[in-house]
Structure formats: structure tokens, C-alpha cells
């Protein structure tokens, strides 16, 4: 990635201009940066941000200038089949685009050429111009660097537990992968009252973080008998296995860790043509596999609740965030992510 100077258009009727305070580095950005998932270029990545509203369009009623907000890539239209049945995260957000004839949101200052916005956000920038349904107002007391990571990793991990698994207190959970999403999943499982929380990761330092966030047991995910260890610890397997890595082997581990009647929820971005499957024996044992796009969030309700969990000391964002770096060091941040050793890096902008 290079750093360049861009011009940002004025807010359209339903748009909000936000001064970005912080933006987390998410593994999904890396899929677009390294080209394994396609996106039109040039573009500005970044989708896990918090900031302060600087200006609003004429029709905006949900936020006002000066509000602290968290952005979310699950922009919703509010009136499609998915929205009116409460499944906002599935909305394709057709009308969140600017509409025909409108100038592009982002252009290069040097030659006026269009720069593509990624996921309607493009948050690795001091300013974001986004649809009002792509952000939500939060408690102004909330520190914005910690609020940022709620926008993707924490919403996804917590949503997997609360919305997709619908965990009942006492049920057992295995979380495969202890990056930002996995750690948020573990923390949410503790908040939801999970009986036993088993975290699987190949790296000892990540297993240590998992214990801090609420894991009751940790195992080395790369051990050949990882699934057997989980089945033994839980005397038959877990009720819920949540995959938060995006590697085929971790999907297989999630399925193999299930007890009879258990459900595996796959959050990670695997190679697009990869299949995660159940055997006939798994099906006869009433096992299930499901996706949970962005934790099946209803983010305008859930992000303020997650902020509240942080303020009350239930959600441990301080442990999830490994480092704060300036925009100039963004490529180093992604290099470290590729090595897999830290939890979450957050870009912090000067205010
Ligand atoms: Zn993300
Ligand atoms: Zn919709």
C-alpha cells in the first residue's frame, strides 16, 4: 500500500462525513491487499473504525455533528427482504451507493481520477464519507481506539456467540484461532455464561491471551490429536465450535470437535471454492455447519451494547489490542499480521 492525498466529496442526502480517530487492521483487509479476494483498484482498504461526525447530509437523522460513532461494513438499506426480516447483515445495501450521476466519493488529488471505496467505508484515511446506515452513535465516554475494533472483529465474534450459536449458559464452546475475532468470541462466550471454553491456536502467546479473555482450557491447534483432545476434555465434544481463522484445516477441526447435536460456525474467510463438510455419520449425529456473516449483526443495536460491556469491564478490549501505530507504519502492521504473532494492531490518527 502507498499513502496518497485524496479529495473527499461532500455528503449526499443520506451520507455522513467522519473524522477517523482509529482503524483496526483486520485479516480480511489482507485478503484484498494480497489479491486472494478480488476488488477493483485503486482502492482504500480499512473497515474497522471509530471517529467523530464532521458533517451530515440533508436527510440524515440517526447521527449529528460531533457524535462519536463506530462504522460497520454491514451497511443496510432498511427496506429489502433481509432488512425487514431482521437479517440486516445479509442486506446487499443497494441504495447505500451514491446514486446515478453523483460524483465519486473519493478522487486522487494529483489527477482527479476515481479511487474506489472498499466495503462502503475505506477507513485507512483521516476522513470517511459513508452512508448513515454504515455507522452508529456510541457513548461519548468510550475511548475511540478501543471502539474501533468493535466495528468488525468484536461484532463478528460476539455475534457468532449471541446471534448464530445462541449459546445457552453452561454449554461448551471450542474456538479455533485466537486472533482478534477468536479472542472476541472467547470473551463473548464467557459473557454469555459458557460452561467450558476451549481455545485452539498453534501459537503459545495467543493461547495465553485466550486464557486471559476467558478460555478455561487451551490446546495447540496444530497438534495431530487436537480434535481428540477437545472431545476428551468435554467428554464427547462441544456444543458449539467456532472457526475464526479461515484455513481449511481449522474448519475440519471445528467439525471434528462437535458432540452429537453440535453446531460448527465458520467465520473465517477460506479460499472461495473451499468446502467444509459433514460425513453421513455426522449427519446421523445431528451435527450442523453454518456461516454467520459478520456475526449476523444488527449493529445499530449491538455495537452500543458492546460498548456498554466494555465500560462495565465485561469486554476486555485492552487485551485484544496489541499495539497502536500511525498510518505511516501500516505496511509493517500487516507484515506482522502475516507472521501471526500479535492480536490486533490499530492505526491511530492524530486528532
Ligand atoms: Zn474485518
Ligand atoms: Zn436491506
- Work out the angle between the directed axes of helices 226-233 and 248-256 (0-180°, nearest 10): 30
Q: What is the Å distance from ligand 1's center to 17 Cα?
A: 21
Residue 2: what pLDDT?
96
Inform me whether the pLDDT recorded for 65 exceeds 60: yes
Report the Cα 341 to chain-centroid distance in Å: 18
Ligand nearest to the CA of 86: 2
Ligand 1 centroid, distance to 118 Cα (angstroms):
12
User: How many C-beta atoms surround the C-beta of residue 86 within 10 A?
Assistant: 10
Q: What is the SS3 assignment for 350?
A: coil
Looking at the chain, the whole-number percentage of residues with pLDDT higher than 90 is 87
How far does residue 205's CA lie from ligand 1's centre (Å)? 22
Q: What percent of the chain has pLDDT over 70?
A: 98
At residue 160, does pLDDT exceed 70? yes
CA of 155 to the centre of ligand 1 (A): 9
Give the closest ligand to the alpha carbon of residue 152.
Answer: 1
Residue 93 has pLDDT above 60, yes or no: yes
Q: How far is CA 213 from the centre of its chain?
A: 17
Q: What is the mean pLDDT of the chain?
A: 95
Reported as a single tens digit per residue, the pLDDT across 213-241 is 999 999 999 999 999 999 999 999 999 99
Q: Are 268 and 180 in contact, with CB atoms under 8 Å apart?
A: no
Report which secondary-structure segment, H or E, holds 211.
Answer: helix 204-213
User: Tell me: the pLDDT tens digits for 248-275?
Assistant: 999 999 999 999 999 999 999 888 899 9
- 105: CA distance to ligand 2 center in Å? 21
Cα distances from 226 to residues 102, 166, 189, 229, 232, in angstroms, run: 54, 25, 20, 5, 10
Cis previous bond, 225, omega within 30: no
Query: Which run of H or of E encompasses 106?
Result: strand 106-108
Chain centroid, CA 320 distance in Å: 13
Distances (CA, A) of 39 to 21, 44, 131, 211: 25, 10, 20, 37
Q: Which residue has the cell 490429536?
A: 225
**Ligand that lies nearest to the alpha carbon of residue 87, given by its number in the listed order:** 2
Which of 141, 155, 98, 121 lies closest to 49 in space, CA to CA?
A: 121
Q: How far apart are CA 56 and CA 60, in angstroms?
A: 6
Q: Which 3 state secondary structure label does DSSP give 242?
A: strand
CA dihedral 197, 198, 204, 208 (to 10 degrees): 10
For ligand 2, the distance from its centroid to the CA atom of residue 79, given in whole angstroms, is 5
Residue 93 C-alpha to ligand 2 middle, in angstroms?
A: 5
DSSP state of 79: S
129-4-7 Cα angle (round to 5):
40
CA 325-327-329 angle, 5° bins? 65
What length is written for the chain?
Answer: 351
Ligand with minimal distance to 49 CA: 1
The model's pTM is 0.95
Mean pLDDT, residues 326-343 taken together: 88
- For ligand 1, the distance from its centroid to the CA atom of residue 47, given in whole angstroms, is 6
Average pLDDT over residues 2-8: 97
Q: How far is the CA of 151 from the centre of ligand 2 (A)?
A: 19
Dist. CA 222 → ligand 1 center (Å): 24
Specify the pLDDT at position 97. Answer: 64
> What is the distance in A from the centroid of ligand 2 to the CA of 24?
26
Mean pLDDT of 141-148: 98
Between the CA of 84 and the centroid of ligand 2 the distance, in Å, is: 7
* 85 Cα–ligand 2 center, Å: 9
Separation of alpha carbons 79 and 107, rounded Å: 30
Per-residue pLDDT at 92: 87
Rounded CA-CA distance 67/136 in Å is 9
Task: Report d(CA 212, CA 218) in Å as an integer.
Answer: 11
* Ligand 1 centre distance from Cα of residue 148 (Å): 11
Q: What pLDDT, on the 0 to 100 scale, is given for residue 217?
A: 98
What CA–CA distance (Å, rounded) separates 49 from 24? 6
* 235 Cα: distance to centroid of ligand 1 (angstroms): 34
Give the pLDDT of residue 338: 87
How far does the centroid of ligand 1 lie from the alpha carbon of residue 225, in Å? 30
* 345 secondary structure, DSSP code: E
pLDDT digits (tens, 9 = 90+) for 315-332: 999 999 989 999 999 999
Amino acid at each position: 500500500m502507498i499513502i496518497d492525498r485524496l479529495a473527499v466529496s461532500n455528503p449526499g442526502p443520506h451520507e455522513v462525513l467522519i473524522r477517523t480517530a482509529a482503524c483496526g487492521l483486520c485479516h480480511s483487509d489482507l485478503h484484498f491487499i494480497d489479491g486472494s479476494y478480488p476488488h477493483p483498484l485503486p482502492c482504500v482498504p480499512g473497515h474497522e473504525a471509530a471517529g467523530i461526525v464532521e458533517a451530515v447530509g440533508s436527510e440524515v437523522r440517526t447521527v449529528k455533528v460531533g457524535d462519536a460513532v463506530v462504522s460497520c461494513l454491514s451497511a443496510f438499506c432498511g427496506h429489502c427482504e433481509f432488512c425487514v426480516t431482521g437479517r440486516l447483515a445479509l442486506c446487499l445495501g443497494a441504495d447505500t451507493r451514491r446514486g446515478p450521476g453523483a460524483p465519486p466519493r473519493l478522487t486522487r488529488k494529483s489527477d482527479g481520477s476515481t479511487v474506489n471505496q472498499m466495503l462502503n467505508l475505506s477507513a485507512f484515511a483521516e476522513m470517511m464519507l459513508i452512508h448513515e446506515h454504515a455507522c452508529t452513535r456510541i457513548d461519548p465516554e468510550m475511548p475511540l481506539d478501543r471502539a474501533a475494533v468493535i466495528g468488525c472483529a468484536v461484532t463478528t465474534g460476539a455475534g457468532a456467540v449471541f446471534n448464530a450459536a445462541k449459546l445457552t449458559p453452561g454449554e461448551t464452546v471450542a474456538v479455533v484461532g485466537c486472533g482478534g475475532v477468536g479472542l472476541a468470541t472467547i470473551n463473548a462466550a464467557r459473557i454469555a455464561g459458557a460452561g467450558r471454553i476451549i481455545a485452539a491456536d498453534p501459537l503459545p502467546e495467543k493461547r495465553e491471551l485466550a486464557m486471559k479473555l476467558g478460555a478455561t482450557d487451551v490446546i495447540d491447534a496444530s497438534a495431530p490429536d487436537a480434535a481428540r483432545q477437545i472431545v476428551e476434555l468435554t467428554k464427547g465434544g462441544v456444543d458449539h465450535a467456532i472457526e475464526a481463522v479461515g484455513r481449511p484445516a481449522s474448519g475440519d477441526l471445528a467439525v471434528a470437535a462437535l458432540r452429537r447435536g453440535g453446531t460448527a460456525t465458520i467465520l473465517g474467510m477460506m479460499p472461495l471454492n473451499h468446502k467444509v463438510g459433514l460425513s453421513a455419520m455426522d449427519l446421523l449425529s445431528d451435527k450442523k455447519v453454518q456461516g454467520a456473516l459478520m456475526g449476523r449483526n444488527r449493529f445499530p443495536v449491538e455495537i452500543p451494547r458492546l460498548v456498554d460491556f466494555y465500560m462495565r469491564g465485561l469486554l476486555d478490549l485492552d487485551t485484544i489490542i496489541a499495539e497502536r501505530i500511525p498510518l505511516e507504519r501500516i505496511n509493517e502492521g500487516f507484515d506482522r499480521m502475516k507472521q501471526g504473532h500479535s492480536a490486533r494492531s490499530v492505526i491511530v490518527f492524530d486528532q
